[in-house]
Chains A and B, each alone.
Chain A
Amino acid sequence: AQSVTQPDIHITVSEGASLELRCNYSYGATPYLFWYVQSPGQGLQLLLKYFSGDTLVQGIKGFEAEFKRSQSSFNLRKPSVHWSDAAEYFCAVATPPGGTSYGKLTFGQGTILTVHP
């Protein structure tokens, strides 16, 4: 069964500092990987996704993520954080087309990001 671990429940950074949010997944082959962001009381907004190809993917709002097969990781990064980035971030894994669970996203527990001025 697929699973996702986000080791950091809460991260605090200063505005302008760099950011890295960790995500480790469990899946037998190369999965589809996603990062979503959720502001308080809101739904989920897709930041970026990885299906195949270049292991460094660019997303919206200046975010990027790198897929590392050897470490089963898909960490999210941003070089300079803005106060508006404060939110909760979720990593998700999904089965590629043809898999038995194709269409089911499995999420991690989330990482809450606080940004200090």
Chain B
Amino acid sequence: DAGVTQSPTHLIKTRGQQVTLRCSPKSGHDTVSWYQQALGQGPQFIFQYYEEEERQRGNFPDRFSGHQFPNYSSELNVNALLLGDSALYLCASSFAGAYNEQFFGPGTRLTVL
């Protein structure tokens, strides 16, 4: 049973660029959440997708956007990258009715230069 997978593992971008991160949920899960974990901090909730719609959003600017596909996989897009966007981006999956019971992937390490 495959767990949550994320790609790529690492990514280096420069300020002002755009980036797309990808996530495939655990088998049987239909809901995907994204978190940003800055160095030395706990993860911060960005948003959650269910049925291809954003159902919850944290306190992040509109530069952060997402998408969920019919197969439940998801993308996180960040536009106009800032140095402060450097972080580990974690994807978590769950299923409807148990949104809080989230299983996390290994993350994508984004470095913005």
Q: Which residues of B contact A32 (CB under 8 A)?
A: 100
Q: Are A46 and B44 in contact (CB under 8 A)?
A: no
Q: Are B101 and A49 in contact (CB under 8 A)?
A: yes
Give the number of residues in B that approach A within 8 Å (Cβ atoms).
Answer: 28
Q: How far is the CA of A109 from the CA of B40 in the complex (A)?
A: 7
Give the number of residues in A that approach B within 8 Å (Cβ atoms).
Answer: 27
A103 touching B55 in the complex, CB below 8 Å, given contacts A43-B90, A43-B107: yes
A101 touching B56 in the complex, CB below 8 Å, given contacts A42-B106, A49-B101: yes
Q: Are B103 and A104 in contact (CB under 8 A)?
A: no
Q: Which residues of A contact B40 (CB under 8 A)?
A: 109-110
Q: How far is the CA of A108 from the CA of B43 in the complex (A)?
A: 8
Across the interface, name the chain B residue whose C-beta is closest to A102. B99
Across the interface, name the chain B residue whose C-beta is closest to A103. B99
Binding site for A on B (CB under 8 A): 4, 31, 33, 35, 40-45, 48, 55-56, 58, 90, 92, 94, 97, 99-107, 109
Binding site for B on A (CB under 8 A): 4, 32, 34, 36, 41-46, 49, 90, 92, 94-97, 101-110
Would you list the 9 A-B pairs with minimal beta carbon distance, nearest first? A103-B99, A107-B42, A44-B104, A43-B104, A94-B100, A43-B106, A104-B45, A103-B56, A107-B43
